[in-house]
Structure 1
Amino acid sequence: MSHQSNSIRHDFSQTLDSVRQWSQEAKENIEKKAAVETRELFLPGFEIGVFPNHLNRSSLFAPIARGHRKFHRKTIMVTRRDCILEYTGEQMDEADADLMMALIFFAQPFPFGSNVPLNRARLLRKIERNTGKGDYEWLHRRMKAMTEATFFLEATKPDGTTRYTIGKTKTLRIIAEFDFDGGKYSYKLDPRWVTMFGNKEYSLTNWEKRMWIKRGHEMAKTMERLVATSNETVQRFALEWLKRKMEYTSPMRKFRNALDVACEELARVEIITTHKIEISTKGNPQLTIWKSLSG
């Protein structure tokens, strides 16, 4: 009887292992297929400045100081609790965020995964840059860096279970391909970008106001993207979390001062009406902002 019970348990264990292996292989095949099949991105009222909320709330794009661009290697980036983001590549800054939003905008008429012709001068003008030699060189460097950068994203449900994963079984690059031949440029965006826009999990920045933000106010641009992820008029953010999200390494005192300046710039361009740094009900310092109704 004991031998029979052990045999049954052994057979059950083998069956369970087979089911798990089949399930894993099925998931891998689904992602591999999703990475190569072109997909349309349909967003009602689509304008330039649209970006997935999970990325806007993460440290993937941050207001880093000039000359302090570090390299991440399988780094778990700062996100909210409903997302895990692992990244390998150069730290991206707010200029990169502008560039990426413009690339998504210009790619929208084409199925994601297909070639998108790139008019470099038009793109540079769209992100309020000049069209001199240095600007073209900057664009080439950043496109190359984004093509080399990879990330893995897992979105979770409120109960902690997985909603979807991207980049686990097949590498996801910020820009899938970047080609330049004889003065003609083109790029591809991975079809899996469409998944990150699903269930209306994206925000639309006020591009005109974003472009009004003065040069050197990169923290204001980061806050602008973060504020755009919610329709709430009053928004609160823990200072410790903001500091880590923005890759800010100086003392908290300096961070608070820089955050004040950033919020004043957001008020100037009417993205927010006012802000306050205060103590939360849990006794921790937090930033409270009042979003402009036209922001």
Structure 2
Amino acid sequence: MNQYEEEDLTPRSEEEAAEMERDFRAAIEKSQQSEKGWRFGLPGNEEQDARLERVFRTAAARRMVAARELREKEEKRIAELIQLPLFPYPEATRIVSNDMARSALFSATQGADRKTLKDTVLATIDGIEIIFTGEQLNQDDHDLLMQLVDFARHKPFGEEVTVPANVILSALGLEKGKSQHEQLKAGMKRLLTPLVTIRNTKKRLTYYGHIIEEAVQDEASRYWIYKLNAKMRLLYDKSSFSQIEWEGRRGLKRKDLARWLQAFYATHADPFPLSVEFLHRMSGSSAKELWKFRENLRKALDALVGINFLLAWEIDAKSDLVSVQRAGKQKDNQLSLPHISHHLNQSGKGTQ
């Protein structure tokens, strides 16, 4: 029995064998370039070379096994995470992935303003990178995703979910006519087709794939059968999502910027002032002029006060910084940010 067998250093695949050979060759090359110590391959050193080769090959094999064990450990961790149902949250809320909500992935645009994007780097906060290929997504699509995730809340992430189309429409606050069913089909297709890369640089985690893995509709019964992408579960780890009060959000129908702001600010426990220009860029708003966006922003912030999501807001006339005060208590999975120092009036509406 050789040393590889005693220590179980035998490669388990062609890839591992190739990896071990590359490691060994690199060690030999380094030895040949060494100015000190034994130099491999010199004439008359065959016996010493044989011993050195055994040492190098054993070291390469051990590094290969260590890399395998690390890889298997990570795969096991991910597999266990994927098999867990979503972290419990109140029935009256829906959850958003913080990485998605802090970006222009689901933009504040009307359906008519959608663009087709290819390998487009979307606006995100520091620490998140998103590259998108497909038809642009908006807040209607985000609402649909929130509801599909909610229907899957008691199942392992990525398991098949069956739900009547009318139940989905009711949950979204929509009528059940032909046009609404067509709207639902279009929304499902938009979540199925784009290719999305989401990288969290702080967690050193990258997601590649589609948002919905697959979806089928029984046209006779109008039941939908769908699967969320199981690997997307990593974006909904219990420290990676925030909750949104659903009835309040349904009251923001057709208010795209207000819905984007709600999702964005839901991920911040105590938001610090941000510039109008920053929110314009981050939201993916189709408003071309900043003054027009600022006008829309005021209306959107008022709408968030109206549903008791915000207590108050202000746009500073000099700095153009937007300050908001959240209603409710801080959650552990929200960003803890510096307290707003700007004065907010008691009516809830900000300084115009």
With normalisation by structure 1, the TM-score equals 0.82
2:280 is aligned to 243
Letter in 1 for 2:312: T
Letter in 1 for 2:295: N
1:156 is aligned to 201
Mapped partners of 2:196, 2:216: distance in 1: 21
Mapped partners of 1:126, 1:73: distance in 2: 32
- Structure 1 residues 73-112: Cα deviation after superposition (integer angstroms, max 9, x where no partner): 1111111111111111111111111110000000112222
**Any residues of structure 2 matched to 1:12-91 within 5 Å, and which?**
39-47=83-91, 48-91=93-136
- SS class of match (2:262): helix
Deviation at 1:260, TM superposition (A): 0.5
Deviation at 1:4, TM superposition (A): 4.9
1:126 is aligned to 171
Which of the two has higher C-alpha Rg? 2
Mapped partners of 2:294, 2:263: distance in 1: 19
Identity of aligned residues (%): 25
Assess if the C-alpha contact under 8 Å between 1:40 and 1:194 holds in 2. Answer: no
**Any residues of structure 2 matched to 1:195-234 within 5 Å, and which?**
195-213=234-252, 215-232=253-270, 234=271
Higher relative contact order (CA 8 A, sep 6+): 1
With over 3 angstroms needed to count, the CA separation of the structure-2 counterparts of 1:3 and 1:142, relative to structure 1, is closer
After TM superposition, the runs of 4+ consecutive aligned structure 1 residues lying more than 3 A away are 26-35, 181-184
Mapped partners of 2:112, 2:166: distance in 1: 26
Assess if the C-alpha contact under 8 Å between 2:191 and 2:210 holds in 1. Answer: yes
- Structure 1 residues 146-197: Cα deviation after superposition (integer angstroms, max 9, x where no partner): 111121111122xxxx521111xxxx11111011235342000111222112
With over 3 angstroms needed to count, the CA separation of the structure-2 counterparts of 1:92 and 1:151, relative to structure 1, is same
Mapped partners of 1:290, 1:278: distance in 2: 14
Assess if the C-alpha contact under 8 Å between 2:82 and 2:233 holds in 1. Answer: no
With over 3 angstroms needed to count, the CA separation of the structure-2 counterparts of 1:131 and 1:33, relative to structure 1, is farther
**Cα RMSD over matched residues?**
3.3
With over 3 angstroms needed to count, the CA separation of the structure-2 counterparts of 1:3 and 1:221, relative to structure 1, is closer
Residue 278 (str. 1) matches residue 316 (str. 2): yes
Mapped partners of 1:31, 1:85: distance in 2: 23
Mapped partners of 2:207, 2:76: distance in 1: 10
Mapped partners of 1:260, 1:181: distance in 2: 44
1:5 is aligned to 34
Listed as ranges, the gaps of 5+ residues in structure 1 are none
Letter in 2 for 1:97: H
Mapped partners of 1:293, 1:185: distance in 2: 35
Mapped partners of 2:72, 2:324: distance in 1: 42
Report how many aligned residue pairs link the two structures. 275
Listed as ranges, the gaps of 5+ residues in structure 2 are 1-30, 41-52, 331-352
Deviation at 1:66, TM superposition (A): 3.7
1:191 pairs with 224, 230, 238, which one? 230
- Structure 1 residues 124-167: Cα deviation after superposition (integer angstroms, max 9, x where no partner): 1111011100000110111012111121111122xxxx521111
Mapped partners of 1:194, 1:4: distance in 2: 48
With over 3 angstroms needed to count, the CA separation of the structure-2 counterparts of 1:287 and 1:108, relative to structure 1, is same
With normalisation by structure 2, the TM-score equals 0.69
With over 3 angstroms needed to count, the CA separation of the structure-2 counterparts of 1:83 and 1:23, relative to structure 1, is farther
Assess if the C-alpha contact under 8 Å between 1:271 and 1:294 holds in 2. Answer: no
